[in-house]
Structure formats: structure tokens, C-alpha cells
Amino acid sequence: MTKTINNVVIAGGGTAGWMAAAAFTKLLGNNVSVTLVESDDIGTVGVGEATIPPIKTFHKLLGINEQELMRATQATFKLGIQFENWGQQGDSYIHSFGVTGKECWAGEFHHFWLHGLRKGICAEFGEYCYELQAAKANKFALSNTTPINYAYHLDASLYAKFLRSFSENLGATRIEGKINSVNKHNDTGDIASLTLDSGQTIEGDFFIDCTGFKGLLIEQALHTGFDDWSHYLPCDSAVAVQTKSVSAPIPYTRSIARNSGWQWKIPLQSRVGNGLVFCSKYCSDEEAISTLMANIDGEALTEPRVIKFNTGKRRKGWNKNCVALGLSSGFIEPLESTSIHLIMSGIIRLLRLFPFEGIEPSAVAEYNSKSDSELNAVRDFIVLHYKATQRNDSEFWQHCKNMEVPPSLSHKIKLFKETGRVFLDDGDIFRVDSWTQVMLGQGIMPSQYHKIANIMSDQELHNFMQSIKSSIANAVEKLPSHAEFIQHYCKSQDASLSENQLDAKYEVES
């Protein structure tokens, strides 16, 4: 017997909880009531400060003003990620959000670039990508005539605070308190209510688990099960610290490979988020803290905080009358800034399948199938970075270089290496450009390419490549600095970009 869904209860706040509350209150209106339960005594992980471009679509759907959001979260613009020391020590490449070159029906631009290499046209692959060149030049602007694809760096705790205000203004109810027990119906095993330490009981028809790694509802109450991916993703720990900014914010994240993992640097308007993701088999917590603190710039604003995690996913993202979002649904390490995106895509998937008239097995199956496909594709893309290394200077990198990878990823690498082709899986959130930039950036060079590239004469090919490169260089030349644009567009009242961080004059093409 199905039951009409009128009351949605969100267990846990943070980024996941308040993103869900914002979407449900805005997009479902008066169709359901939304109650969010969170404890002031329970901190959030709060280190997921980088995003990928689809977040803009989510904000547009909710009617959120970009400038207002960026001011409130001390946000900066993000054009991609610079990977340092991943292929070999001293290597550096940028995985950008832009389209590289121009493609045709039979093959993407990299086939023409590979053909050009054989013909002596030797410009770097990234020189044909607008966003990548803007990132390298530390420039940014919005323009109607020259669109730019971007995401944000933002303060995750301020983002949750912003969405809380947004949600409460639309009618969401917040109840403060720590969840003591999850109560289930005896006959169905569905969740019936939550009991707080105070003794208060909160009943609901449908529950969203945003309780973090614990998975109070999805795992501890419903025993959903967990697929462990640590054999593919060996890092199981992170240490995080915030520092004062000592220079103008750059429009990209830095990911710097270290001996037993990698370090992130995420620039906000007045501070920098720093962290080291590492494998505890090869590095102790104390060594990780020492490595991180030796490689930061500026005064530390917080004490280093160690976070332990298991990579993998719940066997069902939707189980009975509960959907898990964020860390409670699983965790794929933050190498490509996918955590907030996966929250967003889970919310949109649930909204499209929302069981207003009662939960149907077909909807649950569809949600879980699409979720699994997406998570598997993200997992493969992250594993690629570790597998595609030539480093053998530490036990950790030797392990990564020689480890088994999912058959789906092994096929993708082999296909690119042997034919130069990339085909996307159904759930792939990263485009061909992304796969190509990472594989080429880490030294996977195809042995052949599509012969469609031969349709041009040598001169035509030279002119074609030069035209793209020149138009990008000219467009980047006209851009203001990233710091100048932020000053003009979305400067936070809590941030202070000093005079020496800015050029004297701001100009931008409208």
C-alpha cells in the first residue's frame, strides 16, 4: 500500500542538507512541508570549497543571484584545476572547464592536434582552450560576445548559511537538536520518525539522510550496505587548514602531488583553503600535518584538522523511504571537486522522481541505477589520475602505478592509447575534453588518430590551428585580472583585496 508523501524530513544540515532544503522549498512549493533537523554541537566536514560548472544551473533553477551568493560566500571564480607532479615530478598541466579547439562529426579537436604534431605544428594542447589560457594568465571576465565556462571556489560553511536563510524564507522549518534514535515502522521497516536528545519526536513521510559519514538513517537504521572502493582509491585520510591570503586569488584550484597523496590550494577572497589527502598506509597523521604546514603560504587561521574517510558508495542511494545525499551516500575523494555536484545531481534526480502519491519500486530502481552509473563514472575519472603516473619515487606512487583499476577505466585508457578515441559512459559528468586533457597531461599519448584530420592540406591545417590559437590569445589579452573582476563584480564585505593585489584600472568587455 502506497502512502502520500506530505512531510519531508531532512536529517542533518551542512551543504547537503541546506541544498536539499533550498531545492525542495523553492521547486516543490506548497506540495510538501520541509523540516530540517541539525545540531549546533555537531560540526560539518566543511572542506568542499570547490565546484564544477553545473552548480550555476542549480543556482539559476533556484533563482539565486550570482553576485549576492559570491559576496556572501567570499567566492572566487574557478576555470579548472592545475595538476602538479602527477605524471612525473616537475610536470604541470591544467584540466580546464573549456572546450579545446573545434571538432567535427568524426573526431574531436585532439585528432587534428595529433596530426599537427606529426606535421611539426608543436603548440601545447592547452593553447587552443580559452578557459585554460585565461587561467594561466590569471584573468577573468564575463562577456556576452566571448562566453567563458566557470565554476566557483566558495566557503562551504557560508554557503550552507546562505542556503539556510534562503530556505527558511521560503517556509522550511529548522529544528535544533541531536538525533538520538531513528524509529521504524514494525510492519514495513520504513523510517517513521526521529527522536532527539531532548525527547522531541519528529515524524515524516519521507526522509533525506545528510548526517555525513555516519549515515544514521541510510546505514545505521536501514543497514543498506557499502561498496568499498579503497582498492581503487587508496587515500583514506585528509588534513585541512585555512590560511590568510598573501596574494591575489587565482582563478583555478591547485592540486600538488606529494609523496603519499596530494595537496589542495583553494583561493577565496581573503583566505585560502588548504589540505593534504593521503594514504595512512604510507604516511602517519603527524607526517601529513608536517608536510602540509611546510607547504602553505600565509598565517594559519585554524588548527590542522585530520579527517578519516572510506571511499565507496552505499549499495542503494534510495532505500525504502530514505534517500542519502552528500557524505552519507558515499565518498569519492575531492580531487576533481565533485562532492557538491553529486549532492546537486542527487537532489535533481529525486525531484524528478519524487513520490508524491507514494513510493513505487520502479522509481527507486531508476534513481539507484542512474546514481550508480554516475558514481562509477566519477570514480573512474578520479582513479585515472592515480593510475596514469610514471612516478616511482615512493611506495605510494609505485602502488598507484601498478594497481588494478576498474575494467571500464582500463578499456577507456587502452582505447585512447591505441586509437585516440574517447567515448563517454551514460553517467559521465566529464566531457571528452576533460578525459583528453588529463590523459595527455599525464603522458598518455595515442599511437594513432582519426584520418578525418587528413582532409586539410598542411597549409590549411596550419592556418586552422593558428587561427584558433590567435583568437584565444587576443581574447585573453583583453581580459582584466581575476582580482580586478572580483573587486568590481562580487567583492565580499568581509574580504579585503589589498592595493598591491590589484592593477590600477578595471576594464571589461560588456
- d(CA 287, CA 292) in angstroms, rounded, equals 9
Using alpha carbons, select from 309, 315, 312, 311 the residue that is nearest to residue 225.
315
Using alpha carbons, select from 278, 241, 281, 283 the residue that is nearest to residue 256.
278
The answer to whether 191 and 322 have CB atoms below 8 angstroms apart is yes
- d(CA 354, CA 364) in angstroms, rounded, equals 10
- Read off φ and ψ for residue 152, nearest 5 degrees: -130, 155
- d(CA 381, CA 422) in angstroms, rounded, equals 12
The answer to whether 342 and 375 have CB atoms below 8 angstroms apart is yes
Using alpha carbons, select from 138, 106, 110, 137 the residue that is nearest to residue 124.
110
Joined together, the cell numbers standing for residue 77 give 571564480
Joined together, the cell numbers standing for residue 115 give 596530426
Q: Is residue 78 among the annotated active site residues? A: yes
Please count the other Cβ atoms lying within 10 Å of the Cβ belonging to residue 74.
24
The answer to whether 50 and 153 have CB atoms below 8 angstroms apart is yes
Residue appearing with cell numbers 529525486: 350
Buried b (16+ CB within 10 A) or exposed e, 296-312: beeeeeeebbeeebebb
Among the listed residues 26, 60, 78, 417, the single catalytic one is: 78
Please name the residue ranges forming H helices in 212-338. Answer: 285-293
Amino acid identity of residue 46, one-letter, is G
- d(CA 332, CA 319) in angstroms, rounded, equals 20
User: At a CB cut-off of 8 Å and minimum separation 6, what does 372 contact?
Assistant: 313, 317, 427
Using alpha carbons, select from 252, 231, 278 the residue that is nearest to residue 140.
252
Residue appearing with cell numbers 576555470: 79
- d(CA 330, CA 165) in angstroms, rounded, equals 27
187 CB-contact burial (10 Å; exposed 0-12 / middle 13-18 / buried 19+)? exposed
Active-site residue numbers? 78
